[in-house]
Amino acid sequence: MSDIIMLTGIRGHGHHGVFPKERRDGQEFIVDINVLLASSNAASSDALADTVNYAVVADLVHERIVGEPVDLIETLAENIAAAVLLLSGVSSVEVTVHKPQAPIPVPFTDVALRIRRP
């Protein structure tokens, strides 16, 4: 049985994208992440060491948003998932990357990609 830590709306100014303007000026990216884990030990012990620290997860996500630019949100999502999967106690993750200012020539609210990794 897996439990879920959910973090929504982690924001950062990143320079991801395929167009020179995106790389030069950057834009806001928003990430939602669900971290699957077994939380029963932490519930019993009431000890942070027995769970996944969501502050650490948030920092890892933010570092990748504002860090080294990549062309695609697919790559950004994979990089985030890979980093979080390295944390002890994480069994799988679901990452959604939002790019609300994507260079699309028609009115829209959001572009998002969601991935799930083991």
Q: Which residues are catalytic?
A: 99
Question: In which element (H, E) is residue 25 found?
Answer: helix 20-25
State the CB neighbour count (10 A cutoff) for residue 70.
18
3-state SS class at 100: coil
| Cα 80 from Cα 57, distance rounded (Å) | 9
